[in-house]
Structure 1
């Protein structure tokens, strides 16, 4: 992660400067300690403290400057909109991006994966063509990226996401004078979208889920077993040993993220090597380099993935959409990657078969894994447009 590396490098430089000043200070003390007047010691202390204050001040200025200059690139056109703004949702300061070539086009809200994931830049790069037909809104959910500090991690619950997401939707509809919007969710966002659609179906034209999550604990157990099977087959003994040491999920405590990452990252690596999957993987360096993130945001980008996931994911183990979410009053579309190893498509198909909705459809992406919106972005955009035409 190049940008994170640059940020760490800056911090190391600042730390090194402080260390050099401290060394000089102690050398100064050593030379003058014997038989020297207190004035010399006082002078040395003042120099050391002053130097450290200068270094700390410069670091703070640098961080604040990058935070204040963060933004989203402009879109040409008199009636276009391109904003990165803070919003108040139930007393919490959270961030959204709003992008569209015509602010009068239908609203589309994108729900990122995670919990704790930030995809402000990723959606701008991958789904830029949607900005021609929609006003695309990307919500930095509490505990992720620019909204990392919106709420204490210990207070985060799935209900908070639903509550804040619904408040955001109502605010957007009021501002843009529209009655409904399109809801698109990926991975964790696909489950969150179902929760929101169940809560207030009157707010949505349709829901589109990709990398569709259905049953969280069952998914983790399937993923674990698959990773263990493939690691044995491929002779990746280190992965086998780590998986066995961690044991089968669900996990609890402070190591949920790192333990889950063993099998999730292994499956991601296998998908990335699958020749049937196009444009495999996230471009983290590109995304972290984006204008939307200041230096502090870049750090929080990673903290969200690590800390928020650790806090929220165990709360999802008991959720199965086949229990309590079998009847939705909005059209539902699952945009599934044929080679998805992270969210078992068998579970999505089972849920689909039992689901009651005004309209429903599974649309397969034959050259995709867990992220059709990245793997086959051109087709993904076209499918979203077609769904919008059918449900407007």
Structure 2
């Protein structure tokens, strides 16, 4: 009797071991999926249809179950990893293919006649760069949105915050070279402000022809506000008006003000570590590979200060929500971050000498500054100085009393109404 029981237990042990091995590998599969390809388990955060995500998830688990019948030998583990990598690469490729901007629909879920909602490549300076074009009526005026940066992408951020602009404009959001979906458009080490200007010029010519417009509007945000001034100064005949928000005027003076502000904040709260860090790196200008990190040392302080300021309506930004937008595939999500990490340090040092109070005293287009009263990242006093000496066919400085650096996010309704 004891021998029979012993034989049964002996038979069960391999079976238990196999089941445990399978469960272990399934857990490993889930862990790897969460790290390498989290959107497989979170369908709401990706552009890939849920049915295809489920197929990839099932493929990963099926692969683990199949391979689990073999032991933990080096060749088997290598095969196991290779299978994971292959499935993950296919999933990444699928996420890029299915990336798109959402359609513009009426209350019944039907496409609005004459509306346009596309995301596509455009050849600029011989390179393929990306843009979204959105509007409820393709016959409306064209508005080109120039994002933060250099190296920033706001395809999703602007779509969410400025949706109502689509009622009155055809809104074009361009991922500039070295940013977002255009991250690999050209050799980032060769990027210059002039390249951005000429690409923007070519894009506007393309939009004029496509939509039959003689001129377009341009809205620039932070770095985009500086780029906007550079473009309208060189090609005024192409623009109805320039709108700047989070306006950059004089880069070196701007950042030195931010540096002093951050240093003072750190001293007031007794943060000796931050004080020492800022003093050790010294005030700008910075050059070399660590430009971003040195700039971030004081810019993070300014943004944190604005985020905590009760006078500012809301920060408005939700990075995870933006990353989850349908415009970005998995590789784009990675480049959402890499754009700033790689591109900022290349282009920003080329802007230290930019001062529009000296270099753009006259613009041949109407100019509108939409400025947050509590902006400490682009100090309003510089914008006021520039506004007062600027000569333009029409100019207006419009204050947003509950905003910081981003009135279009802090006071969205007022911002959209002002433009419309």
Match of 1:21? Answer: none
Pairwise CA distance, 1:297: 0.2
Q: Does 1:10 align with 2:58?
A: no
Query: Partner of 2:87 in structure 1?
Result: 58
Instruction: Give the superposition deviation at 1:55.
Output: 2.1
Alignment partner, residue 251 of structure 2: 216
> Which piece of structure 1 moves more, 239-248 or 352-361?
239-248
> Which residue of 126, 131, 154 corresponds with 1:119?
154
Pairing 1:375–2:410 present: yes
Bigger radius of gyration: 2
Aligned to 1:363: 398
How do 1:69-84 and structure 2 match up within 5 A? 69-76=98-105, 77-84=112-119
Q: Which residue of 2 aligns with 1:67?
A: 96
Aligned to 2:9: none
Matched, 1:301 2:360: no
User: How far, CA to CA, are the matches of 2:85 and 2:240 in structure 1?
Assistant: 51
Structure 1 counterpart of 2:358: 323
Displacement, 1:272?
0.4
Which of these residues, 109, 120, 133, is aligned with residue 168 of structure 2?
A: 133
State the match for 1:97 in structure 2: 132
Indicate how the Cα distance of structure 1 residues 247 and 25 shifts in structure 2: closer, same or farther if over 3 A, else same.
Answer: farther
Deviations 1:270-299 (A, max 9, x none): 100101101125211110110000000000
- Matched position secondary structure for 2:359: coil
Query: After superposition, where does 1:265-304 map in structure 2 within 5 Å?
Result: 265-304=300-339
Measured after TM superposition, the shift of residue 8 of structure 1 is 7.2
CA shift for structure 1 position 95? 0.4
The secondary structure found in structure 1 opposite 2:391 is coil
| Structure 1 residue 10 displacement after superposition | 1.8
CA contact (8 A) 1:25 1:48 kept: no
Unaligned runs of 5+ in 1: 19-23, 30-44, 386-392
* 2:234 is the alignment partner of 1:205: no
Greater RCO (CA < 8 Å, at least 6 residues apart): 1
Q: Quote the offset at 1:244 in angstroms.
A: 1.4
Distance in structure 2 (CA, Å) of the matches to 1:8 and 1:370: 35
Structure 2 vs 1, CA of residues 79 and 25 (structure 1 numbering), >3 Å: closer, same or farther? same
The secondary structure found in structure 2 opposite 1:291 is coil
1:226-248 CA deviation, whole Å, 9 max, x = no partner? 11011111223332122112111
**In 1, distance between residues paired with 2:200 and 2:239?**
12
CA RMSD of aligned residues (A): 2.6
- The alignment partner of 2:117 has SS state of strand
SS in 2 for 1:226: helix
Shift, 1:50, TM fit:
3.8
2:278 to 240, 243, 262: 243
Q: Deviations over 1:15-35 (max 9, x none)?
A: xx99xxxxx999647xxxxxx
Q: Distance in 2 between matches of 1:370 and 1:7?
A: 38
Cα deviations by residue, 1:34-64 (Å, 9 ceiling, x for unpaired): xxxxxxxxxxx4x455434322211110110
Secondary structure in 2 aligned to 1:322?
Answer: helix
CA contact (8 A) 1:109 1:136 kept: yes
Count how many residue pairs are aligned between Structure 1 and Structure 2. 363
The answer for the alignment partner of 2:7 in structure 1 is: none
Question: Deviation digits for residues 96-138 of structure 1, max 9, x if unmatched?
Answer: 0011111111000000011011000000000000000001010
TM-score with structure 1 length normalisation?
Answer: 0.88
The change in CA–CA distance for 1:8 and 1:270 in structure 2 (over 3 A counts) is farther
Q: Secondary structure at the match of 1:323?
A: helix
